[in-house]
Amino acid sequence: MDEVEDIITLPEGHRYAMFGGGDDYPIKTYYEGVFETVFVVFHPFLVPKNDPTAVDRYVEMDKNEVEQQFRAITWADMRRRLGFDDIKRIDHALRTMIGALKPHAEDQEGANRIIESCDRENVLPPGEGELSNLLENQVLRALLEMGEKWMWSGDEFCTERHLINIRETLTSDTWGVRHRTFFGHQHDWLIVPPWDSHFTLICGSRDWVEQMVKRCELEGFYCQDDTTINWSLFDAKLR
């Protein structure tokens, strides 16, 4: 008898460990019943503190070196420098720069402005799909200050996960965490950067999220009931 091959499908993912709501699905609706509040954290632009050549060595630096060598430029500051009317255009232009949008939805003029400004002023644009390495130590310190000792790290759909000691990770030179999604040992908070996005979602109780935002001095905004991953685009179907 010939062996019958079944189609293997993954089980539904745990919402406390990932983001899977899709481009056009409200973020707060996806996390309803799991997390009370979601804050969208902008990944900062980076500029060297003293040594201009640090930009050339950035990809070789560990998280501690990045923290020592760079400071953040906020999106609000970049919006003024670029002459954009709305901070949403920064997100739209950044997504254009990495080819995350269909051609008819791109903002090439905005993308060119960011590229030219960053080249002229020796600034590094934000990275996508991972928590900014300038924020890594800040987040770890805040977690420790708030009484956390352990966290889980997981892949995109959390089919793999590892238990991480927060203090050990903070004191090491490198991030040393293979995955990009992080959630509480008791499943009460989540830090997840969606793919092709220059921001990270901070999820948890209102009080917990507010403490993280304050302790880490995070720039961004709180999700409203209708906020989606496409919050910066005028048409949710632009992808």
pLDDT tens per residue across span 173-205: 777 777 889 999 999 999 999 989 999 999 999
Mean pLDDT of the region 87-101:
96
Q: How confident is the model at residue 236 (pLDDT cuts 50, 70, 90)?
A: very low
Does the pTM surpass 0.75? The reply is: yes
Mean pLDDT of the region 88-112:
95
Residue 58: pLDDT over 60: yes
Mean pLDDT of the region 11-37:
92
The pLDDT, as a whole number, for residue 2 is: 52
The pLDDT, as a whole number, for residue 225 is: 96
pLDDT higher for 124 or 23?
124
Per the structure block, which two tokens stand in for 44? 């900062």
Q: How confident is the model at residue 218 (pLDDT cuts 50, 70, 90)?
A: very high
The pLDDT, as a whole number, for residue 77 is: 98
The pLDDT, as a whole number, for residue 190 is: 97
